[in-house]
Amino acid sequence: MCGIVGYLNRGKKTKQPLGLTLYKMLGALGCRGPDSAGVALFTHGHRGALIVRVKLAEGNGHDGLAESVVQGVAAVGRVKTFSTQQGYLRLVLDYRGDVRPVERLIESMHKDVEVVSMGRSLEIIKQVGTPENLDSAYGISGLEGTHGVGHTRLSTESRVDLSHSQPFWAHGHPDVAVVHNGHITNYHKMRRRYEQKGVRFYTENDSEIIGVYLAQRLSEGLELKEALKASLVDLDGSFSYLAATARQVGFAKDPFAFKPLLFAETDTAVVVATEEMAIRSGLTGRYVVREAQAREVRVWSR
């Protein structure tokens, strides 16, 4: 079990911040996975600057590391602002080119350092514990944005720590985040193939492969919808997963419909979640909720 949620605002002003909506939705799914919680928010950004969220360490023990990362990264672009919060360093960088060299540069500074997310609007915040823990540590319910996805985890096969938590960023591809409920059974086979091509894996979590897969498909020039459709053929196992980009949110469900996923649309928003309770917690009013069918793929744009 795991719980996943997604929310996309359709451009109208809403009363509550995106972070609060996702937090309420995750709260309704907390019992599906108390191991870790996380959100990927697509914010209004910093005028096109690159927002980088870096995991310095699993806990608070990262003295001096933040400063050396900031100094190091200044070699590729001006650091507009930076701050640390628990084990995270968040920095806003004036940088326009390919994000992969920046990621490699940051991660070369210490073996524990991991870029959790990168993009012009994407920010991933995740940690071990419940959605309540996540909110008290990072105040996610106050964060503004246009759309996002979230996850509560019940770990079945891999370690419980920040790196193994979801959402996963599609490393190397800015502004793409994935949350997954299920198991990818051809994970090891696919991982070996990617590793032969030089792709770095950060965890032993099978869900990580979806981000890697989508990053590759999107880099090939596929639209998100096409990439999701292609994944129905290439990924084996049980899955309902959500993928979000700077302007879209979409889902794919496996050919056997092993994992739940429901969605609802109104004039103001699109809401997707593992259970209807979460949908009702995120969006009030009257609307129809449907369960996605086997092999169904849907994408909504802003």
Partner 1 sequence: MVEIDGEGRTTREINSAVQEAVSHGADDIRVRNTGGRHNLGVAILRPVRLTLDGSVGYYCAGLSDGPSVEVSGSAGWGLAESMMNGMITVRGHAGNGAGAAMRGGIIVVHGDAAARAGVSMKGGTILIGGNCGYMAGFMAQKGVLVVCGDTGEAFADSMYEAACFVGGKIGELGNDAVIEKPSPDDLELLESLLSKHFGRKLKNLKARLRAFQKVVAGRKLWNFDKREWKTWKEAL
Q: Give, for 29, the enclosing helix (H) or strand (E).
A: helix 18-29
Q: Which of 47, 110, 294, 300 binds partner 1 (CB under 8 A)?
A: 294
293 lies in the site for partner 1, by CB under 8 A? yes
Least separation in angstroms between residue 10's CB and partner 1 is 22
Residue 93 or 228: the one with the smaller Cβ distance to partner 1 is 228
Q: Give, for 189, the enclosing helix (H) or strand (E).
A: helix 187-196
Residue 201 or 256: the one with the smaller Cβ distance to partner 1 is 256
| Number of residues engaging partner 1 in binding (CB under 8 A) | 20
Beta-carbon contacts of residue 269 (< 8 Å; ≥ 6 apart): 7, 8, 9, 10, 14, 283
Least separation in angstroms between residue 238's CB and partner 1 is 12
The torsion angles phi and psi of 175, rounded to 5 degrees, stand at 60, 40
Residue 74 or 294: the one with the smaller Cβ distance to partner 1 is 294
Q: Give, for 226, the enclosing helix (H) or strand (E).
A: helix 224-234
Q: Is 31 among the residues known to form the active site?
A: no
CB 25 within 8 A of CB 5: yes
Separation of alpha carbons 143 and 10, rounded Å: 17
Reduced to 3 states, what is the DSSP secondary structure of residue 218?
A: helix
Which residues, numbered 253-292, are part of the site for partner 1 (CB under 8 A)?
A: 255-257, 260, 262, 275-281, 288-292
Residue 113 or 262: the one with the smaller Cβ distance to partner 1 is 262
Selected range binding partner 1 among 48-56, 170-178, 220-228, 252-260, rule: CB under 8 A: 252-260
Least separation in angstroms between residue 288's CB and partner 1 is 6
Residue 67 or 291: the one with the smaller Cβ distance to partner 1 is 291
Residue 123 or 275: the one with the smaller Cβ distance to partner 1 is 275
Which residue, chain included where needed, has tokens 């950004």? 45
Which residues, numbered 52-71, are part of the site for partner 1 (CB under 8 A)?
A: none
Which residue, chain included where needed, has tokens 């001006």? 78
Which one from 1, 2, 163, 239 is the annotated catalytic residue?
2
Distances, alpha carbon 206 to alpha carbons 67, 184, 188, 228, 231, in Å: 33, 6, 8, 17, 14
DSSP secondary structure letter of residue 151: E
Which residue, chain included where needed, has tokens 């890697």? 212
What residue type is 177 in one-letter code?
Answer: A
132 lies in the site for partner 1, by CB under 8 A? no
201 lies in the site for partner 1, by CB under 8 A? no
Least separation in angstroms between residue 296's CB and partner 1 is 9
Query: How many other C-beta atoms lie within 10 A of the C-beta of residue 183?
Result: 17
Least separation in angstroms between residue 31's CB and partner 1 is 10
Least separation in angstroms between residue 35's CB and partner 1 is 20
Q: Which residues are catalytic?
A: 2
Query: Which residues bind to partner 1, rule: CB under 8 A?
Result: 255-257, 260, 262, 275-281, 288-295
